[in-house]
Amino acid sequence: MTTWLDLDERDDHYLGLAGAHVVATEALLMLRDNLADVLGARAMMCVHGDAGLGKTLSVNAALRALAPADVCRVQFRARPTPRDIRHVLFDALGCSGSPPMRPIEFDALLKRVLAERPRVLVCDEAQWLSRECFEFWRHLWDDPRTDIAIVFVGGGDCYRVLRREPMLSSRVYVWQEFRRMTREQVLDIIPVYHPVWAGTDPELLAYADTHAGHGNFRAWSKLTAHVVTGLARLDRPAPDRDVLQWVFSRLGGRDGT
Amino acid sequence: MTAPDHAPQIRVLLDPTDDQAVTAGLLARHDPLAGRLVVHPTPGANGRASLAHDVLAALGRPVDIPPRSRIAREGGAWAAATAWAAADRLEHLVVLRAHRLPAEGWSRLLEFAAHAGAAVLLVCHTRTVAAHLRARLPAAATVTTDLAAVARELDAARARPQRERPPQRQYPTLPRHLPAGQVLHYRADIYRQHFGDAFARVDDLYGRGLDAACNWLRSQPGPPARQRAVVDGALQRLLTELVHDSPSRQHTLAVLRGAQAGFLLHGSWLALPAPASLCGPGLTSVPITFDVADRIRAGVADPVLAAGVALAMLTGADLLALRSLRLDALPPPGHVLLLPFRRADVPAAQRHRAVANEATLLFHIPPPARPLIRAARTFLLGLSSNPRQQVFAGISPLRERIAETAERCGVRLPAHPPGLIDAWLLRVAWTHLDVGVHTNPPAHIGAGRSCLTTTPADTMLVTRPMLHRHPHDQLRNRWSPRNVPTFLPGLVRAYLDRTEPNLRGYREHQITVPADGDTITRRRRDLVERHLAVRTTPAGPATPEDGITVHPDIPFALRLSPQPAPSEPDQPCRDGAPHPDESRAK
């Protein structure tokens, strides 16, 4: 579990890549607009797409701009239960004292805290949640006293998991899917993403995307980190095919030719 | 629990799309005060008592129930929910997410609603009702998908007039120190020492007591046996109703002195003890307002503890008196408490006090506290059918438990209240004296001669005679009402009729008087010296037959004259000289 205020902007980036910028991609801009609407409506939102496409980074970046003090981010690595969510929220919301023993007392406490001021609850890796857990989120959100928006972020089959729950289908205000960058988007975005790619030959970028980036932000982040290292090791001023070959050999064990 | 009296309307609302608008719309209609309850079950709560606790929470009761309390267990939780629902007059029960509840939960809900006499709407966000749930429905139950019709019905219930809460009786602010003398001079003392706005505020309370007593006496079948003091339950109820919400002893005294005046106007004597060091309603009690009752309901789920707090507040006596309280002391519909007193139950050091050995004290229960009392009664009868069971059985130590509950509710209990033997109600007696000034049954025979014609006080009814002081009169302490003042109605009637009082019932042998002079003279002088009468004709030592009339404070106490006697002069007047303030007193 992480609360928003614990997150440094650099933590948004994969590997905490130094020098990386948050690029105002079309998806990020759309997400910011969507989140603004969702926060205004105190609604639910689902941000889904394959891993590494920048969902979490975009949500973090957008919420940092929209509601920096009101965000409560929770994330689960295994299949959680409502009890797990209650305890995570208890910590994330900074509730004092000991967690109540009985669910009804726990929920009364959480609702009381969530009624104090507007909050945005970000639930990452939502594809791991069970129906019982979604019931719990819905229960908090449906309560007329709470003042919350909920953002579910998930990869893999998150869309399918959430869509099969009628309670969420009728409550999610915006569904937004993140997709891989097209070749044109790669050529536009990557040079802005990190200074190491500034001025790089588009052909070389296309080559890198074909063999390692695959339109995936996380792959590009990893590739960029290796390129920065490679430039130092190979004593080159800018990326070229030799540097990329060196990087590919580290990434995939093959030379990429 | 006993079997349900009648089957309420039971419906299942199907919402297969699980539309948020359905849930929001129904939750918006949640209004326990209007008898509509929307239960939103806690997800992932699988305890046997969980659903009952959800109902209690919807009713506004606290959810932090001590694990070892009887409300924590399934039977106790449902009994408490049933009791509160009955006390709050539940009409509609809506249960959201009902399709997720176990079949046993449906049975419990239906039983609960039947006891409360409430219609039930079970909301299932599914296409059909699952077979195992349908099996729990009675044959008369219906299934609908017509949300609009359901909403219209709930809105129609909402459109009905809200259950009214009578406005709280207001009490004016009074000066910190006020005279506290007996009834015959109380109003006059206030007038003389706090003339103006302060007197008007006290007199407002005094008139409240006077009118209430008049109204009550008019409705009585007849006076009690003459010269026999009566400790009367109905009288206790009248008096406790008059002062249960009084904010201070000063206010209570003003109201009760007015009530005494009302009794005297009807030819009766209401004996009240001096309030100092006594306890009871209006003296050591804490007023129970609707706000206080709401705080109690929000602070405790156990109806017996809630009732305990209310009883501690309204009796104003040590909780020891409630320890053995039996359920039949709180008869339906929860308007009175019949609190038994036995001298034998009193600590030995206090038993010598002059009160009856056994008595039943009747306390008026104010409207805000009645649902608390009704809930406790229903709850206890739900657990045991014994009508004489002890109310606070199993709640030990009682003082600490009630104090802890009151603190949790944020309400104040009487601070260090005396034992029940010091209750002023134990010392109240009603004695019929003589024909009253007010007729009974009422007939309008002149201003001041029938109820409600004595107020306001600014109507001069009888021309005051010239007042004189006999040179031998030595004013002594005022008459103290240790004895029944049989002569008083005669004195007042003679004043109104402008005749000489015959002083029937005057007991001179109980009063120390000089042995000189004849009986009539002694009686008259004693009445004058005891501040009960004044002389009306100038007379010297050789004319003992000088007339007397009632002391001006007394018709003023009865609101039959606009002014009391002036303050007593330092020196007696000379023969034939008018009273110093006579011109003002006219």
Domain boundary among A178, A205, A238: A178
Q: Do residue A129 and residue A193 come from a single domain?
A: no
Contact between B436 and B266 under an 8 Å Cβ cutoff? The reply is yes
Contact B100 A135 (CB under 8 A): yes
- Chain A's closest residue to B45, CA to CA, is A103
| Other C-beta atoms lying within 10 Å of the C-beta of residue A249 | 14
Strand partners, B550: B533
Within 13 Å, how many C-alpha atoms sit on residue B534's CB side? Answer: 23
- B143 membership: H or E segment, kind and range: strand B142-144
Strand partners, A121: A72, A150
Nearest to B343 by CA among B233, B230, B420: B420
Would the CA dihedral through A10, A14, A16, A21 be positive or negative? negative
Domain boundary among A154, A178, A202: A178
Question: What Å distances lie between residue B313 and B6, B235, B328, B368, CA to CA?
Answer: 36, 21, 20, 12
- A70 membership: H or E segment, kind and range: none
How many Å separate Cα A59 from the centre of its chain? 5
pLDDT value for B227:
52
Contact between A133 and A82 under an 8 Å Cβ cutoff? The reply is yes
Nearest to A190 by CA among A167, A171, A213, A174: A213
Q: Is the pLDDT of residue B456 over 50?
A: no
Asked if the structure places residue A192 within a domain, the reply is: yes
pLDDT value for B442:
53
Q: How far apart are CA A136 and CA A141, in angstroms?
A: 9
Question: Which is more confidently placed, B39 or B46?
Answer: B39
Show the tokens assigned to B70.
Answer: 């009887």
Q: Do residue A151 and residue A207 come from a single domain?
A: no
Question: Which is more confidently placed, B583 or B1?
Answer: B1
> What amino acid occupies position B540?
G
In tens, the pLDDT along B5-29 reads 556 689 999 999 999 999 999 999 9
Contact between B49 and B77 under an 8 Å Cβ cutoff? The reply is yes
pLDDT value for B573:
39
Q: Structural domain tally of chain A?
A: 2
pLDDT value for B487:
85
- Chain B's closest residue to A81, CA to CA, is B44
pLDDT value for B430:
87
- Residue ranges, chain A, pLDDT below 50: 1-7, 255-257
Q: Do residue A188 and residue A79 come from a single domain?
A: no
> Which of B14, B18, B50 is the mutation pick for testing A, counting most A CBs within 10 A?
B18
Contact A139 B42 (CB under 8 A): yes
Residue A136 is nearest to which of B18, B44, B67, comparing CB atoms? B44
Angstroms from B10 CA to nearest CA on chain A = 24
Mean pLDDT lowest among A175-184, B460-469, B545-554: B460-469
A52: domain CATH number is 3.40.50.300
Q: Do residue A10 and residue A99 come from a single domain?
A: yes
Q: Do residue A45 and residue A159 come from a single domain?
A: yes
Residue B473: pLDDT band (50, 70, 90) is confident
Contact between B509 and B523 under an 8 Å Cβ cutoff? The reply is no
Q: Is the pLDDT of residue B275 over 90?
A: no
What's the whole-number mean pLDDT along residues B430-441? 77
A84 at the B interface (CB within 8 A)? no
Domain segments of chain B as ranges = 10-159, 183-233+242-274+427-432, 290-426, 488-585
Q: What is the share, in percent, of chain B residues with pLDDT greater than 70?
A: 83
Question: What Å distances lie between residue A64 and A5, A58, A60, A120, B186, CA to CA?
Answer: 9, 10, 6, 11, 74
B145 contact partners, CB below 8 Å, separation of at least 6: B13, B14, B15
Q: Is the pLDDT of residue B221 over 80?
A: no
Is residue B326 helix, strand or coil? strand
Residue B79: pLDDT band (50, 70, 90) is very high
B583 at the A interface (CB within 8 A)? no
In tens, the pLDDT along B281-326 reads 999 999 999 999 999 999 999 999 999 999 999 999 999 889 999 9
Contact between B203 and B187 under an 8 Å Cβ cutoff? The reply is yes
> Which of A170, A171, A172, A173 is the mutation pick for testing B, counting most B CBs within 10 A?
A170
> Is residue A48 packed enough to be buried (19+ CB in 10 Å), middle (13-18) or exposed (0-12)?
buried
Mean pLDDT lowest among A144-158, B124-138, B406-420, B483-497: B483-497
Residue B440: pLDDT band (50, 70, 90) is low
Angstroms from A109 CA to nearest CA on chain B = 10
Question: Which is more confidently placed, B503 or B219?
Answer: B219
Nearest to B341 by CA among B332, B351, B331: B351
Residue A104 is nearest to which of B24, B53, B97, comparing CB atoms? B53
> Is residue B288 packed enough to be buried (19+ CB in 10 Å), middle (13-18) or exposed (0-12)?
buried
Q: How far apart are CA B547 and CA B526, in angstroms?
A: 13
What's the whole-number mean pLDDT along residues B241-262? 95
DSSP label at residue B90? -
A155 contact partners, CB below 8 Å, separation of at least 6: A48, A49, A50, A51, A55, A125, A127
A83 at the B interface (CB within 8 A)? yes
Q: Do residue A199 and residue A231 come from a single domain?
A: yes
Q: Do residue A52 and residue A84 come from a single domain?
A: yes
pLDDT value for B459:
45
What's the whole-number mean pLDDT along residues B218-225? 72
> Is residue B428 packed enough to be buried (19+ CB in 10 Å), middle (13-18) or exposed (0-12)?
buried
Asked if the structure places residue A60 within a domain, the reply is: yes
pLDDT value for B502:
77
- Chain A's closest residue to B17, CA to CA, is A166
In tens, the pLDDT along B365-392 reads 999 999 999 999 999 999 999 999 999 9
| Other C-beta atoms lying within 10 Å of the C-beta of residue A227 | 24
Q: Do residue A160 and residue A208 come from a single domain?
A: no
- Chain A's closest residue to B24, CA to CA, is A142
Helices (H), B316-464: 370-383, 398-409
Strand partners, A148: A119
Asked if the structure places residue A257 within a domain, the reply is: no
Q: Do residue A104 and residue A222 come from a single domain?
A: no
Q: How far apart are CA A96 and CA A93, in angstroms?
A: 9
Q: Do residue A139 and residue A236 come from a single domain?
A: no
Angstroms from B81 CA to nearest CA on chain A = 15
Angstroms from A136 CA to nearest CA on chain B = 6
The radius of gyration of chain A's CA atoms, rounded to the nearest angstrom, is 21
In chain B, which among 51-90 make CB contacts under 8 A with chain A?
A: 53-54, 57, 63-65, 67
Work out whether strand B268-271 and strand B429-432 pair parallel, antiparallel, or are unpaired. antiparallel
Q: How far apart are CA A58 and CA A53, in angstroms?
A: 9
Question: What Å distances lie between residue B157 and B83, B118, B145, B150, CA to CA?
Answer: 22, 12, 20, 11
What's the whole-number mean pLDDT along residues B30-44? 92
Q: Is the pLDDT of residue B94 over 70?
A: yes
List the Cα angle B246/B164/B338 in 5-degree steps. 50
**CATH architecture, range B10-159:** 3-Layer(aba) Sandwich (3.40)
Would the CA dihedral through B372, B378, B382, B383 be positive or negative? positive
What's the whole-number mean pLDDT along residues B397-423? 93
pLDDT value for A174:
94
Q: How far apart are the first and last CA of chain A?
A: 42
> What amino acid occupies position A9?
E
B334: left (phi over 0), alpha (psi -120 to 50) or beta: left
Angstroms from A32 CA to nearest CA on chain B = 25
Question: What Å distances lie between residue B59 and A109, B299, B317, CA to CA?
Answer: 17, 12, 31
Domain boundary among A178, A194, A220: A178
Asked if the structure places residue A31 within a domain, the reply is: yes
Q: How far apart are CA B382 and CA B83, in angstroms?
A: 8
What's the whole-number mean pLDDT along residues B114-132? 94
pLDDT value for B458:
46
- A46 membership: H or E segment, kind and range: strand A44-49
What is the interface pTM, i.e. ipTM, of the complex? 0.84
Q: How far apart are CA B103 and CA B99, in angstroms?
A: 9
Contact A139 B64 (CB under 8 A): no
The residue segments making up the domain with residue A196 are 183-252
A29 contact partners, CB below 8 Å, separation of at least 6: none
The pTM (predicted TM-score) of the whole model is 0.82
Q: Is the pLDDT of residue B576 over 60?
A: no
Q: How far apart are CA B229 and CA B357, in angstroms?
A: 16
pLDDT value for B225:
63
> Is residue B530 packed enough to be buried (19+ CB in 10 Å), middle (13-18) or exposed (0-12)?
middle
